Chains A and B, each alone.
Chain A
Amino acid sequence: MSTTRELKGRRSLFDGAIVRRASVDALRKLAPQLMMKNPVMFVVEVGSVLTSVLLVRNTVLHTGHFRFDLQITLWLWFTVLFANFAEAMAEGRGKAQADALRLAKSETTAYRMNKAGNMEEVPSSQLRAGDLIRAVAGQMIPGDGEIVEGVASVDESAITGESAPVIREAGGDRSAVTGGTRVLSDAITVRITSNPGETFLDRMIALVEGAERQKTPNEIALNILLAGLTIIFLLAVVTLQPFAMYSGAPQTIFVLISLLVCLIPTTIGGLLSAIGIAGMDRLVQHNVLATSGRAVEAAGDVNTLLLDKTGTITIGNRQASEFIAAPGVSGEQLADAAQLSSLADETPEGRSIVVLAKEQFGLRGRELSKLNAEFIPFSATTRMSGIEVDRRSIRKGAVDAIARYLEEHGTKLPSEVRDAVEGVARSGGTPLVVAENGRALGVIHLKDIVKGGMKERFDQLRAMGIRTVMITGDNPLTAAAIAREAGVDDFLAEAKPKDKMDLIKREQAEGKLVAMTGDGTNDAPALAQADVGVAMNSGTQAAKEAGNMVDLDSNPTKLIEIVAIGKQLLMTRGALTTFSISNDIAKYFAILPAMFAGVFPVLNALNIMHLHNAESAVLSAIIFNALVIVALIPLALRGVAYRPMSAAALLQRNLVVYGLGGVLVPFVGIKLIDMIITAVGLA
């Protein structure tokens, strides 16, 4: 995505430093109290310990097949280590980001206002919520807070990675500042809103580091499934020994543990936490911070997206697109008057009128200072702006305002102009009426410009079963037209904050999950109510507190990416679970004949891969089982390829790739490994 600035630049998947740190961490994670959190891999570790002890015993007693037993034991340990390595790799990427953030967290000096109203110097770590501090140009803002006085441009690059300074001012929706950012100009007084250790930066560090990582609901459910399967396979293997003894073919513990480890879902068990961490990490790479993994999962489940029209669906400003002259007035006359009245109007709308007049009628912009004109600015009472020049009195404004202005001059708005006004409104535009010396000249059509590519994205969302609702303050007529043009499914016109809240509650009552973005304090209740509430980093502290994600780029369109990341996270888990379970079929065909063909040579009929001998078969299966974890680390960290399509199409595609693929791949893999280890003489 071109709009995405990564927090600290994209690292290659196997960055040298991260790999080194992860390798050490993989060993440290062998501690049983850490392993116990992952039942599948814990079983493998217990198996490894058991075979290690037996290996020592057998060596002392000179029994067993040392070469085979040793290899099995080693590969069992490797299986555990590979899984730990995957988790450590995922964490390592987060840790690297956290280290970068910590640099911004260095101790600074704060200028705190004491009760007497005087400034005192204190270390930033002593600031408490409610303290008032002063920061001037060049100083670091010592903590999170709300500006109570002043305006300043602030460099927030430490947090957002964006080098262009942003304006922060008291009051309104741009009042929040973040500790660790720097004031570039002017001075501000800030009320600190968080205690040390609870600042935005602290939360961010904890999040990317995964220190506060808790298992998400879906991850818990999957863990239960995996633990259940592990118990079932444990049962199958434990009871196999009596059956084998009955049949006169008892097995060694090495072979039985190998069978067990091959059957239990080690692939997904070993990669599960890495997938979760990597999902959060992908979000961070998109410059979005989620307060919990639960929120990321919820993003995948979203049924309804509430999107603000302005800034999300349309580019922020309306642009003039057409001059509609009144009867008896030429287009050029209208354009001329419109241009004159807009010369001093620095708003984007005003500038677009000047541009349109030049494009359509070749009217050059005139220098305002040379005209000796008096500019009449827009005011809330008259709701018009205009210009007095060369005895020309030009006004432009909303239709009712101009109608009143005409009445004062004893004229009326011609019905043709009224019709034009309605036509513009119906098409989704905003009509501006222009009048000169008490006579209506015509209508300027101001148009909302829908961002490029939005229609396609909404089509994709629809294909994924997600409904988009546009929220706008426009009247229903205008809103309907824009909604049609943008291709959203529904719209909420003349929306007040309460309407937004009601809509969310209504959707949720139907069992739907709702996502929205917001930045203002009046968005806070809705952000809190929504299942996924993305607050803009430029927004108020209240909005940021209420949502469960913050977009550091303050780009409302990001919501669509967030949904995709959530879906990708869930899909990766499902794909690897399916793959892992499908793998077992081939492993049975490798190990079972190897176990019993010694006593019952007829069972070689099940050795459909024609593996070299019993030892090579068991070894190949266990080696494949270990290596597949490593092979899938990139997939776990990157997530499975995701393209928006319907659930039915996704299911079909993923079932073929990971289900059918999962059945077939190990047949090939185990056979190849068997050929290699036979060739190098390991079995």
Chain B
Amino acid sequence: MSLNGWLQILLFIALVLLLAKPMGSYMTRVFERRRTWPDGVFGPVERLLYRVTGIDAEHEMRWTEYAVAMLAFSTATLGLTYAVERLQGLLPLNVQHLPGVAPDVALNTAISFTTNTNWQSYVPESTMSYLTQMLGLATHNFWSAAVGLALAIAFVRGIARRESSTLGNFWVDLTRGTLWVLLPMSFVFAIALVSQGVVQNFRPYDKATLVEPQTVTGADGKGTTVTTQVIAQGPVASQEAIKMLGTNGGGFFNANSAHPFENPTPLTNFLQLLSIFILPAGLTVTLGQMVGSPKHGRAVLAAMTILFAIGVTTCYWAESQPNPLMHNVAQQRTEQQSGGNMEGKEVRFGVANSALFATVTTDASCGAVNAMHDSFTPLGGMVPLVNILLGEIVFGGVGAGLYGMLVFVVIAVFIAGLMVGRTPEYLGKKIESYDVQMSMLYLLIFPLVILGFAAVTVMMPTTGLSVLANKGPHGLTEILYAYASATGNNGSAFAGSNWNTHWYNYSIGIAMFVGRFLMIVPMLAIAGNLARKKIVPASAGTFPVTTPLFTVLLVAVIVIVGALTFFPAISLGPVLEHLLLHAGHAY
């Protein structure tokens, strides 16, 4: 670990915290339909959209109607993406003349981008045409993030409203989130990326002659000499911006943010990190403002910051450690080398920025990577896995992070709230059996899908295990990570295995779908139920949700619930791998 590394991490978190307030206040205004400065530009567009689609912007939806609208929208756009993928061979902007995408990959990808997961079992530059990337995938980067924003706002309204049966209008929230928040920010961010060298074109792929020809050995054992390299091109910057801002994470290229055309400089790297956290951090401020308790928003933000700090410290520390199996090799940090574990990391980012990126991308449900998580040390790689297993609520995905966190708040308030001698209250709303029931359902679906699929997979030697590049605890971690990443809608992978098989494409597809939509339904049910309740006025007897003590409680509940659920599996994965590594065994 170096001072320079720590300063970058501290600068990053300081900027996130600093930007949260203006970002959050802006979003409050947007979603409460108050005046904002871009009204002159987007107002007419918004009104036109409503007129064309026949949407009554004043119509208020109950939680069920909100859920149905959201599901209908997501299913329709999922169908659109599937169709574009399958038909891309017949459609324009296919400069490499790529054929239609195979059904299982196409379905997996359609679900993946609809659910804000962006799990990619394919190699984008050799699978997807430019049109598919833009019309099929980048659109979902906007929509799925806007859906997440809308859902989070609906949940916050549920807490804030008093004796109301409705949560707002899904179409209005979706439209305003896209027009006022995601589009303008992506536009500016994309231009910034282009200025740093991120490509934005429709050119066919370049072919370069290698300075030094390479001999590679194929699967059949025959050596071939390679003299040229294909350099993929495309409309990258426009997709890259929303990939980060919308916590989507699906790379234009297979190497994702480690690719120099996606993430060329330390500055773009820093901006990408910032853009992952800015909306989720801002949403905590929006929460505080909309429920009328800015302090509560800050308490939630503080809990997120603590969990982030624990994660990034562990990851940075673990990655800075020398590899115990490499004897007689100087591994300490010097002027000449970063020290620590540089396997699978880009030299231009180094250990600190790779560890930071891995933590941030899994705290949020982004899933973009600038280093290979698979190559991390066992404990360093455990951090992204644990971040996902906790539910990606540390800042979290756009919207999804906040509502996931709020479900934990409901559980924390219920468990500890009784200890103040009152029926537990969350900001004046009594937490009753229905709320607990739905929260538990939400908490239950997550491990059910992850552990269920992982357990089934390890029981199938051919279908499940044969694709693994690594055996032993590392292989278990890879499988756990895959299903956690899918169910948590993260999309990053513990690469090193070939996930592009029927079993993984379909099972991961199901995991992504369930992890997104089946968890949204109970979440909205809680919101709908909370909105109906009276608000008990605050007094000295009210359970405090604004104090440092509450922050500590929230962190403890998240860690304990997460740890208790996944500790057995983790102990046979990264923990065991770490201990074995230090005993001299590698996998």
List chain A positions with a Cβ less than 8 A from chain B: 217-218, 220-222, 224-225, 227-229, 231-233, 235-247, 259, 263, 297, 300-301, 303, 462-467, 510-513, 566-568, 570-571, 573-575, 577-578, 581-582, 584-585, 588, 592, 596, 600, 602-603, 605-606, 642, 646-648, 650-652, 654-655, 658-659
> CA–CA, A222 to B451, complex, Å?
25
* Contact A235 B447, CB 8 Å, known A247-B476, A567-B421, A600-B576: yes
Nearest chain B residue, comparing its CB with the CB of A237? B568
Is B433 an interface position by the 8 A CB rule?
Answer: yes
Is B416 an interface position by the 8 A CB rule?
Answer: yes
Instruction: Select A224's contact among B419, B433, B544, B564, beta carbons within 8 Å.
Output: B433
7 inter-chain pairs at a CB distance below 8 angstroms, sorted by A residue, are: A228-B437, A297-B423, A301-B423, A510-B537, A567-B421, A568-B421, A655-B549
Instruction: Select A570's contact among B415, B418, B431, B456, beta carbons within 8 Å.
Output: B418
> CA–CA, A232 to B566, complex, Å?
10
> CA–CA, A571 to B565, complex, Å?
26
Shortest 5 CB-CB distances between A and B: which pairs? A465-B541, A574-B418, A228-B440, A567-B421, A465-B539
Instruction: Select B542's contact among A231, A592, A647, beta carbons within 8 Å.
Output: A647
Could you tell me if B459 and A245 are in contact, using CB atoms closer than 8 angstroms?
Answer: yes
Nearest chain A residue, comparing its CB with the CB of B446? A232
Could you tell me if A303 and B539 are in contact, using CB atoms closer than 8 angstroms?
Answer: yes
Residues of chain B within 8 A (CB-CB) of A513 are 536
List chain B positions with a Cβ less than 8 A from chain A: 411, 414-423, 428, 431-433, 435-437, 440-441, 443-444, 447-448, 451-452, 454-456, 458-459, 465, 472-473, 475-476, 534-537, 539-544, 547, 549, 553, 556, 560, 563-569, 571-572, 575-576, 579-580, 582-583
> CA–CA, A642 to B419, complex, Å?
10
* Contact A651 B454, CB 8 Å, known A232-B565, A463-B540: no
* Contact A221 B576, CB 8 Å, known A232-B443, A232-B447, A646-B541: no
Could you tell me if A218 and B418 are in contact, using CB atoms closer than 8 angstroms?
Answer: yes
Residues of chain B within 8 A (CB-CB) of A585 are 560, 563-564
Could you tell me if B436 and A242 are in contact, using CB atoms closer than 8 angstroms?
Answer: no
Could you tell me if B452 and A239 are in contact, using CB atoms closer than 8 angstroms?
Answer: yes
Residues of chain A within 8 A (CB-CB) of B444 are 228, 231-232, 235
Residues of chain A within 8 A (CB-CB) of B569 are 236, 239-240, 243
Could you tell me if B419 and A650 are in contact, using CB atoms closer than 8 angstroms?
Answer: yes
Could you tell me if B455 and A243 are in contact, using CB atoms closer than 8 angstroms?
Answer: yes
Could you tell me if B535 and A511 are in contact, using CB atoms closer than 8 angstroms?
Answer: yes
Q: Can you name 10 extra interface pairs (CB under 8 A) apart from A236-B564, A303-B536, A646-B541?
A: A236-B451, A236-B569, A465-B541, A510-B537, A574-B418, A574-B420, A578-B415, A588-B568, A600-B579, A647-B420
Residues of chain A within 8 A (CB-CB) of B422 are 300-301, 567, 570, 647
Could you tell me if A571 and B418 are in contact, using CB atoms closer than 8 angstroms?
Answer: yes
Smallest beta-carbon distance B520→chain A, Å: 18
Instruction: Select B433's contact among A220, A238, A242, beta carbons within 8 Å.
Output: A220
> CA–CA, A577 to B419, complex, Å?
9
Smallest beta-carbon distance A381→chain B, Å: 48
Could you tell me if B414 and A225 are in contact, using CB atoms closer than 8 angstroms?
Answer: yes
> CA–CA, A245 to B457, complex, Å?
12
Residues of chain A within 8 A (CB-CB) of B428 are 511
Nearest chain A residue, comparing its CB with the CB of B442? A228
Residues of chain A within 8 A (CB-CB) of B544 are 647-648, 651
Could you tell me if B415 and A577 are in contact, using CB atoms closer than 8 angstroms?
Answer: yes
Residues of chain A within 8 A (CB-CB) of B565 are 232-233, 235-236
Nearest chain B residue, comparing its CB with the CB of A466? B541
Residues of chain B within 8 A (CB-CB) of A602 are 576, 579-580, 582-583
Nearest chain B residue, comparing its CB with the CB of A595? B568
Could you tell me if B432 and A217 are in contact, using CB atoms closer than 8 angstroms?
Answer: yes
Smallest beta-carbon distance A174→chain B, Å: 35
Instruction: Select B416's contact among A464, A465, A566, A651, beta carbons within 8 Å.
Output: A651
* Contact A247 B432, CB 8 Å, known A571-B418, A585-B560: no
Could you tell me if B572 and A244 are in contact, using CB atoms closer than 8 angstroms?
Answer: yes
* Contact A655 B419, CB 8 Å, known A236-B565, A510-B537, A511-B535: yes
Could you tell me if B451 and A235 are in contact, using CB atoms closer than 8 angstroms?
Answer: yes
> CA–CA, A524 to B543, complex, Å?
33
Could you tell me if B543 and A243 are in contact, using CB atoms closer than 8 angstroms?
Answer: no
Residues of chain B within 8 A (CB-CB) of A228 are 436-437, 440-441, 443-444
> CA–CA, A574 to B416, complex, Å?
6
> CA–CA, A263 to B435, complex, Å?
24
Could you tell me if B537 and A606 are in contact, using CB atoms closer than 8 angstroms?
Answer: no
> CA–CA, A247 to B472, complex, Å?
7
Residues of chain B within 8 A (CB-CB) of A648 are 540, 544, 547, 549
> CA–CA, A465 to B421, complex, Å?
11
> CA–CA, A647 to B465, complex, Å?
53
Could you tell me if A222 and B418 are in contact, using CB atoms closer than 8 angstroms?
Answer: yes
Residues of chain A within 8 A (CB-CB) of B537 are 303, 510-512
Most buried by B among A240, A650, A651: A651
Nearest chain A residue, comparing its CB with the CB of B417? A574
Nearest chain B residue, comparing its CB with the CB of A231? B444
Could you tell me if B423 and A218 are in contact, using CB atoms closer than 8 angstroms?
Answer: yes
Could you tell me if B564 and A584 are in contact, using CB atoms closer than 8 angstroms?
Answer: yes
Residues of chain A within 8 A (CB-CB) of B416 are 574, 578, 651, 654-655, 659
Residues of chain B within 8 A (CB-CB) of A259 are 568
Could you tell me if B572 and A247 are in contact, using CB atoms closer than 8 angstroms?
Answer: yes
* Contact A651 B418, CB 8 Å, known A237-B568, A592-B568: no
Could you tell me if B576 and A236 are in contact, using CB atoms closer than 8 angstroms?
Answer: no
Nearest chain A residue, comparing its CB with the CB of B441? A228
> CA–CA, A243 to B572, complex, Å?
7
Smallest beta-carbon distance B425→chain A, Å: 9
Instruction: Select A603's contact among B418, B419, B436, B571, beta carbons within 8 Å.
Output: B571
Smallest beta-carbon distance B566→chain A, Å: 7
> CA–CA, A603 to B571, complex, Å?
8
> CA–CA, A501 to B300, complex, Å?
41
Could you tell me if A571 and B451 are in contact, using CB atoms closer than 8 angstroms?
Answer: no
Could you tell me if B536 and A647 are in contact, using CB atoms closer than 8 angstroms?
Answer: no
* Contact A221 B414, CB 8 Å, known A242-B458, A567-B421: yes
> CA–CA, A568 to B567, complex, Å?
34
Could you tell me if B419 and A651 are in contact, using CB atoms closer than 8 angstroms?
Answer: yes
Smallest beta-carbon distance B82→chain A, Å: 31
> CA–CA, A62 to B471, complex, Å?
35
Instruction: Select B415's contact among A510, A568, A571, A574, beta carbons within 8 Å.
Output: A574
Residues of chain A within 8 A (CB-CB) of B452 are 235, 239
> CA–CA, A225 to B414, complex, Å?
9
Smallest beta-carbon distance B494→chain A, Å: 16
Most buried by B among A512, A577, A659: A659
Residues of chain B within 8 A (CB-CB) of A642 are 421
> CA–CA, A464 to B422, complex, Å?
10
Could you tell me if B423 and A462 are in contact, using CB atoms closer than 8 angstroms?
Answer: no
> CA–CA, A444 to B495, complex, Å?
94
Most buried by B among A220, A232, A263, A646: A232
Smallest beta-carbon distance B207→chain A, Å: 45
Could you tell me if B433 and A221 are in contact, using CB atoms closer than 8 angstroms?
Answer: yes
Residues of chain A within 8 A (CB-CB) of B568 are 236-237, 240, 243, 259, 588, 592
* Contact A242 B571, CB 8 Å, known A236-B447, A236-B566: no
Residues of chain B within 8 A (CB-CB) of A574 are 415-420
Smallest beta-carbon distance B517→chain A, Å: 20
Smallest beta-carbon distance A647→chain B, Å: 4
Residues of chain B within 8 A (CB-CB) of A575 are 418-419
Could you tell me if A462 and B564 are in contact, using CB atoms closer than 8 angstroms?
Answer: no
Nearest chain B residue, comparing its CB with the CB of A653? B419
> CA–CA, A648 to B423, complex, Å?
15
> CA–CA, A651 to B440, complex, Å?
23
Instruction: Select B459's contact among A220, A242, A566, A652, beta carbons within 8 Å.
Output: A242
Smallest beta-carbon distance A72→chain B, Å: 18
> CA–CA, A541 to B407, complex, Å?
47
Could you tell me if A646 and B432 are in contact, using CB atoms closer than 8 angstroms?
Answer: no
Nearest chain B residue, comparing its CB with the CB of A592? B571
Nearest chain A residue, comparing its CB with the CB of B458? A246
> CA–CA, A359 to B90, complex, Å?
112
> CA–CA, A655 to B554, complex, Å?
12
